[in-house]
């Protein structure tokens, strides 16, 4: 095997011909596979199926969950998330199926009304900016884009965002009001923020008094190596030590623990933030679905129950990650045309082509029946200046399908790379 960069143009052309023939053959197989979104597989959706058998409706405080009331969540649901996130129960607000919508609400309310540390609503602050570690999660970026909040890229490394840059930017620019973080098994690179990174987050001194860290702990218990999981330092505790607890909103959900289509979500925050969220939420709803909260809290009655469930998830996930990673290794290593992450949890593999090839790879895959997340999606405004990052979501197809999809994907990477290098 030879690095492509060491080939002559003639060698590259000849190699490209062979690969294209192989591509055409695979195209003929009419594949229809999807590695675009982090959807749990059918097997995973069956793990917590007993939740669906629970007909109970009385919460531990005697409240009939079938009726109106309790806007901030029933006690046992608060405790469930409190245990998962290692925060006090009384600092947890429990919502409905979507943690994204809780994040959305927190941003929207800040725009319309300001948060508890705001002098005025963000809509009256002129330009408002958020820091966005990249590559990152497209749905975070979409909220900012919808609201006209300017996004500033910050590189995400092995230990988290470039904290020198984060510290400098938030200290010098009071129009920077927030930052999006997926601190454990980051979407899409899979890294977990180091202890130092978390400590530096808790010690931030933003010029904007109403700055907020949107800490989307979506993969808090979503380990692949269950015996030796990544450990994320607790931002809540660190902020408490620093007297900066108002600065963070911590989100999580059971979407990838029980059911992505019928789970429960939460936000954990300071006493003042939670009071504010409850106050705003009371205008919007009489309450979230408390039956879902109850059935989840009874099923995940302690951390052992959560761990048991996540162990089962990890088995289904590991075989899928392995199918893709083994194929990438086999098909692409040594050519000098790609690098990718080898995550220890979460839902994604982050893949980088040589510059200006990602869009072409995604298009080639699509034309052969394999759908990937759009190239650029991992960057604000969909703009990956290098056009090199691709998010691979291996959770949903079967391992057999993934072998095929990853093989096709590798082929497309080779083709796109050679096309680019030949020019």
Give 254 or 273: the residue with its C-beta nearer to a copy of itself: 254
Kindly report the number of other CB atoms within 10 A of residue 320's CB atom.
24
**Please, which of residues 297-326 interact with a copy of itself by CB under 8 A?**
none
The burial class, CB within 10 Å (0-12 / 13-18 / 19+), for 421 is: middle
| Residues sharing a CB contact under 8 Å with residue 119, sequence separation 6 or more, in sequence order | 209, 210
Give 52 or 207: the residue with its C-beta nearer to a copy of itself: 52
CB 406 within 8 A of CB 324: yes
Q: Which range, of 37-45, 151-159, 242-250, 315-323, touches a copy of itself by CB under 8 A?
A: 37-45
Give 237 or 381: the residue with its C-beta nearer to a copy of itself: 381
Give 154 or 281: the residue with its C-beta nearer to a copy of itself: 281
Tell me if 108 contacts a copy of itself by CB under 8 A. Answer: yes
Q: Which of 11, 17, 29, 42 binds a copy of itself (CB under 8 A)?
A: 42
Tell me if 13 contacts a copy of itself by CB under 8 A. Answer: no
Tell me if 34 contacts a copy of itself by CB under 8 A. Answer: no
Tell me if 261 contacts a copy of itself by CB under 8 A. Answer: yes
Number of H helices, E strands in the chain: 13, 13
Please give the Cα distance from 151 to 129 (Å, whole number).
6
Q: Phi first, then psi: give them for residue 23, nearest 5 degrees.
A: -60, -45
Residue (of 348, 333, 341, 349) closest to 413 by Cα position: 333
Tell me if 231 contacts a copy of itself by CB under 8 A. Answer: no
Q: Which range, of 129-137, 290-298, 307-315, 343-351, touches a copy of itself by CB under 8 A?
A: 290-298
Q: Which of 91, 97, 153, 350 binds a copy of itself (CB under 8 A)?
A: 97
DSSP string for residues in 397-411: S-HHHHHHHHHHHHH
Give 100 or 404: the residue with its C-beta nearer to a copy of itself: 100
- Paired tokens of 387: 């056009």
Residue (of 250, 241, 211, 199) closest to 85 by Cα position: 250
Q: Which of 8, 30, 32, 53 binds a copy of itself (CB under 8 A)?
A: 53
Q: Give me Rg for the CA atoms of the chain.
A: 23
Tell me if 149 contacts a copy of itself by CB under 8 A. Answer: no
DSSP string for residues in 348-367: -EEEEESTT-HHHHHHHHHH
Q: Which range, of 82-90, 107-115, 125-133, 194-202, touches a copy of itself by CB under 8 A?
A: 107-115
Q: Which of 7, 142, 371, 403 binds a copy of itself (CB under 8 A)?
A: 142
Site residues (vs a copy of itself, CB under 8 A):
37, 39-40, 42, 45, 49, 52-53, 55, 57, 64-69, 96-98, 100-101, 104, 108, 111-113, 123, 139, 142-143, 146-147, 255, 259-263, 280, 283-292
């Amino acid at each position: 095997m030879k690095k492509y960069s060491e080939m002559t143009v003639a060698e590259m052309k000849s190699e490209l011909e062979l690969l294209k023939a192989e591509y055409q053959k695979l195209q003929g197989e009419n594949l229809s596979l999807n590695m675009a979104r982090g959807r749990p597989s059918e097997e995973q959706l069956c793990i917590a199926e007993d939740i669906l058998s629970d007909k109970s409706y009385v919460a531990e405080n005697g409240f009939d969950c079938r009726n109106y009331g309790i806007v901030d969540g029933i006690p046992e649901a608060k405790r469930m998330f409190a245990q998962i996130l290692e925060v006090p129960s009384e600092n947890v607000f429990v919502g409905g199926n979507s943690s994204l919508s809780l994040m959305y609400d927190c941003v929207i309310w800040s725009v319309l009304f300001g948060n508890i540390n705001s002098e005025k609503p963000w809509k009256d602050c002129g330009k408002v900016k958020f820091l966005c570690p990249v590559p990152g999660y497209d749905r975070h970026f979409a909220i900012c884009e919808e609201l006209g909040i300017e996004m500033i890229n910050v590189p995400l490394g092995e230990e988290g965002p470039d904290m020198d840059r984060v510290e400098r930017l938030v200290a010098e620019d009071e129009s920077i009001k927030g930052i999006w973080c997926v601190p454990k098994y980051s979407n899409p690179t899979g890294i977990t923020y180091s202890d130092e990174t978390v400590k530096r987050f808790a010690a931030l001194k933003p010029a904007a008094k109403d700055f907020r860290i949107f800490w989307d702990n979506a993969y808090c218990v979503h380990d692949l190596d269950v015996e030796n999981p990544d450990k994320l330092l607790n931002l809540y505790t660190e902020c408490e030590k620093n007297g900066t607890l108002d600065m963070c909103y911590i989100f999580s959900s059971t979407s990838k623990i029980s059911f992505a289509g019928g789970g429960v979500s939460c936000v954990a925050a300071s006493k003042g933030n939670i009071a504010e969220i409850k106050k705003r939420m009371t205008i919007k709803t009489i309450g979230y679905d408390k039956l879902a909260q109850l059935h989840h809290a009874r099923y995940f009655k302690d951390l052992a129950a959560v761990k048991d469930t996540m162990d089962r998830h990890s088995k289904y996930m590991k075989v899928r990650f392995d199918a893709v990673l083994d194929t990438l290794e086999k098909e692409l290593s040594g050519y000098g045309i790609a690098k990718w992450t080898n995550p220890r949890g979460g839902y994604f593999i982050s893949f980088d082509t040589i510059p200006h090839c990602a869009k072409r790879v995604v298009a080639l895959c699509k034309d052969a029946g394999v759908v990937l997340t759009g190239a650029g999606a991992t960057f604000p405004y969909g703009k990956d200046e290098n056009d090199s990052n691709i998010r691979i979501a291996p959770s949903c197809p079967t391992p057999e399908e993934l072998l095929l999809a990853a093989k096709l994907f590798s082929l497309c990477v080779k083709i796109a790379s050679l096309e680019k290098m030949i020019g």
